[in-house]
Structure 1
Amino acid sequence: MTTRRVLRWLAVIAAVPLLLMLIVAALLRLDYAGTPAAWAKSTGNDALWLGHAWVDGRRTAADVDALAARLGAMKDVYVHSGPIDADGTLPPAKYANAANLLTWWKARLPQVRISAWLGQTVNPDDEGYLVLSDAAVRARVVAGAKALVGLGFDGIHYDFEPVDDGDPSYLALMRETRQAIGSAALSVATQQIEPMPGAGFLFRTLGGHGKYWSPGYFRQMAELTDQVAIMTYDSWTPLQALYGGHVARQTAKALELTPATTDLLIGAPAYHDHMVGLSDYAESVAMAAEGTRLALTDHGPRPGLGLALYIDFAATEEDWREYEEHWVRPD
């Protein structure tokens, strides 16, 4: 084979990924086209992830009062109460101030449901990773969740990452937790739904682990919980319109897959330290809100849909302004 032919083939091989990226970008930009309906906005079913400072003693009753002025349309908060140890246990020392927090919360914000947010890495390449396929580990996780509900939390919010698509052990954990906590709220932060066929395989090949869940697996998870919150951030999209399209696509898929009995929350990035630099420019609460509104407009009204802001300690005044202006009271 001549040098010229080799170079030609190399050029073709290099052009294929570029062409695929351009096609994906065009599709996402089309998803962001249109004008949201006036009615497509918050209906008071929003949520906020709260950091560990609320349960380890750094926050006070005065902080709850200050947060109350922010929450407005929020119905839920998820308070980081772990992380869970590698063997599945959750030492009470990790949430030493939770009882005080719950006392302050119930007195000041009885209308806002407060759930304990529990999670850990399940990536074998990470130190202290947790093996959900081990029934004994899951039993300890469930015991910790039950103890938190017994302490006074209104529910449990799980976030284990990265969970492979189709992993039966995560579904088993949901069933076992439901049996243990009864009617208390059970919610989960989910990975993104595969945006187009082949995306899951491509990311696994390049990234070494799964980023997306198939529609079928997402539906199974939604059927087992009271609420799903899709982590639509860290999308790796370099432009604002592409991120808006990404959120619109995720929301549209989730609206079709989530049972009417399960609340659906769309994660909005109220933080500014993305692993991929351009994402700090592309991703915002405003773009998440606009993408959600576009998908909702196409779908029609959906009770129980809301935005979930990640995360309280990183949220800026601009993030809160965008939440108000683009979602709670859009023009």
Structure 2
Amino acid sequence: MKWLLKRVAAGVAALLVVVVAAGALLGMRFSGDKADWAAGNGGDAAWLSDRWLTGEAGAEERGALKARVEQGEIGELYVLAGEIDADGAVTGAGGSDGAAGFLEWAGQELPEVRVLAWLRHRAEGSSLVEDRFDEQARTELSSAAGAMADAGFAGVHLDVAPVSVNDPSYPGLLEQVGEEIGDDAVLSVQALPVELVPGLRVPYFAIDRGERYWSKGYLRRVAERADVVVVPGHGSGMPVGSMYGGYMVRQVEETAEALDTERTEDTAVRFGVPTYEDERWGPEAGSEDASTAVEAVRIGMTRAGMRDTDAGVALYLLDTASDEDWDAYVAGWASPSG
């Protein structure tokens, strides 16, 4: 028994050494030069909750929203228009009078900003053996997306998680949605984070029975069918700020490599910046913050040579961004001093 306990203790110690070393290496990534061009250029986005479509937000709040959008040079808004059911049906405020009123207001007050209908779905487990949405559900969802475009939205932001790597139905769904909303509308897709090293998603799935990462190949496959791909910046699970910063730098680098092909050269990319407080939107942020995220994105873009690309960040969510978060975004990204 003592022999067994010693072997177990030795194994745990070895694992801790590996984890500590990996953490140190990841933390070291969060350093380096930031090019002047690696900053806001009008290609940034922000999520908004459904309260803007339900009439809860009054004139004063709309005025404050306009001020932030203009100051931050935000060019896209993803407004929660509906939750996607398992059968592909969408329930929410996307087709309401409140939505029509908000779109009319945005058209007048923010004419250069694209307002997309954010359609959201959360599930559990893998979608590899069984498609996330079956054929009938995909048809239903595509039709609902088309209705959003007909209602006056500039397109749709499709946020479905998790979707397993190599799930063949999801790229097919994106093609259907693209056909329904038309060539003039924007199809934005929320991705899963990119695995930091090849094969990282496998042990995580074995332990957690969930999907946390996409491979670069699957990200590329999705991006080929979208106008915009958004890589999330929350839910990293990193215990300290330096590791989160290194994690975000790697997200930028791996995404840049995945999309560096002729087939995806016209696809814009946004990197998420965590500014939410409600658990409805994700797990407790912990070490994640706006200041670290924008600095990491700048370092990553500089290191990956992403000049002359349509790349930016996306605030998640603008509704709950504190003054501290907002100031960090403006000072670190929209109008950086260095």
Partners of 2:91 and 2:190 lie apart in 1 by: 22
Q: 1:152: which partner in 2?
A: 152
**Structure 1, residues 87-137: CA drift from partner, whole Å, max 9, x if none?**
211246664211111111101101000000002123269xxxx96341110
Which of 17, 20, 34 is 1:19 aligned to? 17
Amino acid in the other structure paired with 1:80? L
Q: 2:265: which partner in 1?
A: 260
Q: 1:38: which partner in 2?
A: 36
Q: 2:317: which partner in 1?
A: 311
Structure 1: 4+ residue segments shifted above 6 A: none
Partners of 2:331 and 2:295 lie apart in 1 by: 10
Q: 2:215: which partner in 1?
A: 214
Partners of 1:17 and 1:162 lie apart in 2 by: 28
Partners of 2:17 and 2:175 lie apart in 1 by: 43
Alpha carbons 2:86, 2:133 under 8 Å: kept? no
Q: 1:141: which partner in 2?
A: 141
| 3-state SS in 2 of match to 1:75 | strand
Q: 1:287: which partner in 2?
A: 292
| % identical equivalent positions | 33
| 3-state SS in 2 of match to 1:224 | coil
| 3-state SS in 1 of match to 2:158 | strand
Give matches, 1:99-178, under 5 Å.
99-123=100-124, 132-178=132-178
Partners of 2:41 and 2:109 lie apart in 1 by: 22
Alpha carbons 1:122, 1:131 under 8 Å: kept? no
Partners of 2:17 and 2:283 lie apart in 1 by: 21
| 3-state SS in 2 of match to 1:5 | helix
Alpha carbons 2:198, 2:215 under 8 Å: kept? no
1:201 aligns with 2:190: no
| 3-state SS in 2 of match to 1:81 | strand
Alpha carbons 1:102, 1:153 under 8 Å: kept? yes
Partners of 1:27 and 1:245 lie apart in 2 by: 8
Partners of 2:35 and 2:93 lie apart in 1 by: 48
The CA deviation at 1:312 is: 2.1
CA RMSD of the aligned region, Å?
1.9
What is the total number of aligned residue pairs between the two structures? 323
Alpha carbons 2:115, 2:153 under 8 Å: kept? yes
The CA deviation at 1:257 is: 1.5
TM-score by length of 2: 0.90
| 3-state SS in 2 of match to 1:314 | coil
Q: 1:327: which partner in 2?
A: 333
Summarize the Cα distance change of 1:135–1:25 in structure 2 as closer, same or farther, 3 Å threshold. same
Give matches, 1:69-80, under 5 Å.
69-72=67-70, 73-80=73-80
TM-score by length of 1: 0.92
The CA deviation at 1:17 is: 2.9
Alpha carbons 2:295, 2:332 under 8 Å: kept? yes
Summarize the Cα distance change of 1:37–1:158 in structure 2 as closer, same or farther, 3 Å threshold. same
1:241 aligns with 2:242: yes
The CA deviation at 1:65 is: 2.5
Unaligned ranges ≥5, structure 2:
none
| 3-state SS in 1 of match to 2:265 | coil
The CA deviation at 1:23 is: 2.7
Unaligned ranges ≥5, structure 1:
none
